[in-house]
Structure 1
Amino acid sequence: MTAPATAPATMRGAYLPGDSTAVLRELPVPAPGHGQLLLRVEASGICGSDIGYIYREHKTHKGVDGPAYRGVVAGHEPAGTVLAAGPGCRRFGPGDRVLVYHIAGCGQCANCRAGQMISCADERHREAYGWQRDGGHAGFLLAEESTLIPLPEELSFVDGALIACGVGTAYEGLLRLAVSGADDLLAVGLGPVGLAAGMLGRGLGARRIVGVERSPLRREWARSLGLFDAVVDADEALDAVARETGGRGVSTAIDCSGSAPGRRLAIDAIAEWGRISLVGEGGTLETEVSDALLHKQVTIHASWVTSLQRMEQLTRDLVRWGMRPERIVSDTFSLEEIDAAYRLAAGESRGKVVVVPAGEAP
């Protein structure tokens, strides 16, 4: 099958050389093969893992032999419109609005069969969009049908791009905690994932939500969103938790900071029989065990993104709750502004940074 008439012969795509720059190059618009679809990319987020593992330098990553980035079009948080379907596609076709689960796995291992392609056991066939295969920082994207999720009309393409990674990560972390109306929630680190945790915690019914962030700029942005009952600096966090919970501590906490101090704060703030979720990449976990964990009967969960099924469930929950993830987006750039977009995301952005290839929000 050839690319449809509505797609040009060539497009521009963004690449990350590993020297703190993002560059645009011309490349052919691909044609979908068996089980593949060609998408027009409408929105594509910039993720913190792109900054940490690819943008500044090309680092190794779990299960990857050598650098994780293989010189492909960057961007693993795409959402878009289907333009053409290759042979064998059965669920999606031209005109469908979709977001992309950002790992294409082998499809055969136990993790893939459970929808956990992020943990695909066959590294020969595991490919992340924007890392080992072309991603969403381009006008068009070749996607496996098995990685696509319907994007409800009630949600924008920017919403879909955020769900594709960061919001899905926060959702899984909170589901592991079984957050409900009986819980107080502490979110440590108010980057995009922490902001999403505050939003989703409200949807799940948490009675009080406290956000902790060291950056004054990000604290100001988080307060402006109205997602938290209190937003405080780390030095004030334990006092804030005591005020909000009558001195008991929070029953649930999610660390999105990926830092040893952030994780330690979550442990210090947790109440007896509390549950903690770790979703931030990198860093270490350093704690005394007996008094901090054992004697308090604390449960610690660790999760990596989410499953295909739960990401689709998340889209339905957001519609039911009337919530829009695009609310946490502070800055939107066109594809031509990709270098500036990455500079901001790698510096001190207030919230989420999103690239919209067409140059305007859908």
Structure 2
Amino acid sequence: MTGITLPGGSVVERAEVPIPEPGFGQVLVEVRASSICGSDIRAIYREHLGSGAEAYQGVIAGHEPCGQIVAVGPGCTERAVGDRVVIYHISGCGQCAECRHGYMIGCESESRAAYGWQRDGGHAPYLLAEEETCLILPDELTYEDGALVSCGFGTAYEGLLRLDVSGRDQLLITGLGPVGLAAGMLAKAMGVRTVVGTDLSAERAALAVELGVVDHALSGTDVAGELSSLAGRHGFSAAIDCSGSGAGRLVALEHLRTWGRCAFVGEGGGVSFDVSPLLIHKQVTLYGSWVTSLRHMEDLLELLPQWQIHPDAIVTHRFGLDQAAEAYRLADGGQAGKICLIPTQAG
């Protein structure tokens, strides 16, 4: 079969590999959708960061896969041929404290391996997965819905859970890429009364309004005055940075009210700010949130049909594997919504 690898330098390559056979506790998944994540662009496509959790090992890319099980290995007890599954994109040791709490993303073992980073991912017709990382995709959801939940929507949901958002809140989202769009969509379902988003891209701000995931969207760098007006005299009660930029993080902190809550979920970069006025004197709570847990992802998959939400609403472009280079170039441009590779789709 043909898979997609990312050698760095903004290059996409094709690799011919055999269809794998499942071993003990493993399943073979026919991939129906494999979406592109901003972390793929930042840490693999442009250049290999090469250390820790972001060490790319030259494997088939794609850490947001969803598909149907076509074969099971010995020892599998929970999943069967025909099951539609979302794949939690980290395979952990299952024994450390983080794994036992369902946060395989934080697995402390050297055996930790992320699909698409240290083991083959979803940019191929088939994927070999550990049974314990496969969550059932409800019948009401599409394969693209599932692919988006496997990372981006799960990440947004976890950040909103940390913030404990509800109908009492006005929420500010900095960064209206796919994770920011997901945060807006989920925040509204969780009862947030007003959602305001910002992004450098006018196209992404317009898309957020068009999709109805925010009440107001601002674009550009000079948005402080408009944000202050929208937030009212006291500021936003909660903010989530999905931009991964220092400027976005600073905007999120600056427009919080006293006793506000802020979550950073956007990866990469840094931020510098005056701690006393922005954090200490305002008694702000700042959370770092990294992906989500197996339990929370399973909860989200159950809630989406109840909320009548389809994550695939934010997909703006779909490509076959033979168009992967074009798909990655578009994703790197930072103007589109979510981009999905469909392994069964021909160019």
After TM superposition, the score normalised by the length of structure 1 is: 0.93
Alignment match, 1:142: 128
Candidates 164, 175, 183, aligned match of 2:150: 164
Counterpart-to-counterpart distance in 2, 1:246 and 1:138: 49
Compute the displacement of 1:219 (Å): 1.6
Alignment of 1:99-248 (within 5 A): 99-123=86-110, 125-248=111-234
Alignment match, 1:46: 36
Candidates 1, 10, 20, aligned match of 1:20: 10
Compute the displacement of 1:316 (Å): 1.0
Compute the displacement of 1:324 (Å): 0.7
Counterpart-to-counterpart distance in 2, 1:29 and 1:130: 16
The 1:24/1:214 distance shift into structure 2, 3 A limit, reads same
Candidates 54, 74, 86, aligned match of 2:73: 86
Alignment match, 2:247: 261
1:331 aligns with 2:321: no
Candidates 26, 42, 55, aligned match of 1:68: 55
Cα deviation 1:315-345 (Å, max 9, x = unaligned):
1111111101101111110111111111111
Compute the displacement of 1:23 (Å): 1.6
Q: Equivalent residue of 2:7, what SS? A: coil
Cα deviation 1:191-243 (Å, max 9, x = unaligned):
10011010011011100000000112212222211111100025453333333
Moved more, 190-199 or 216-225: 216-225
Cα deviation 1:242-270 (Å, max 9, x = unaligned):
33333221100000111111111011110
Coordinate RMSD, CA, aligned: 1.3
Letter in 2 for 1:199: M
The 1:242/1:56 distance shift into structure 2, 3 A limit, reads closer
Alignment match, 1:279: 265
Does the CA contact (< 8 Å) of 1:21 and 1:343 recur in 2? Answer: no
Cα deviation 1:28-60 (Å, max 9, x = unaligned):
101101000000000001111111111122112
Candidates 36, 56, 62, aligned match of 2:26: 36
Alignment match, 1:5: none
Unpaired stretches in structure 2, ≥5 consecutive residues: none
Counterpart-to-counterpart distance in 1, 2:169 and 2:87: 32
Letter in 1 for 2:89: H
Compute the displacement of 1:304 (Å): 0.5
After TM superposition, the score normalised by the length of structure 2 is: 0.97
The 1:270/1:299 distance shift into structure 2, 3 A limit, reads same
Counterpart-to-counterpart distance in 2, 1:224 and 1:350: 13
Letter in 1 for 2:63: H
The 1:57/1:338 distance shift into structure 2, 3 A limit, reads same
Counterpart-to-counterpart distance in 2, 1:33 and 1:49: 29
Does the CA contact (< 8 Å) of 1:41 and 1:140 recur in 2? Answer: yes
Does the CA contact (< 8 Å) of 2:261 and 2:284 recur in 1? Answer: yes
Compute the displacement of 1:176 (Å): 0.1
Cα deviation 1:77-136 (Å, max 9, x = unaligned):
00000001101111110110001000001111010111111000012x100000110000
Structure 1 runs of 4+ with >4 Å offset: none
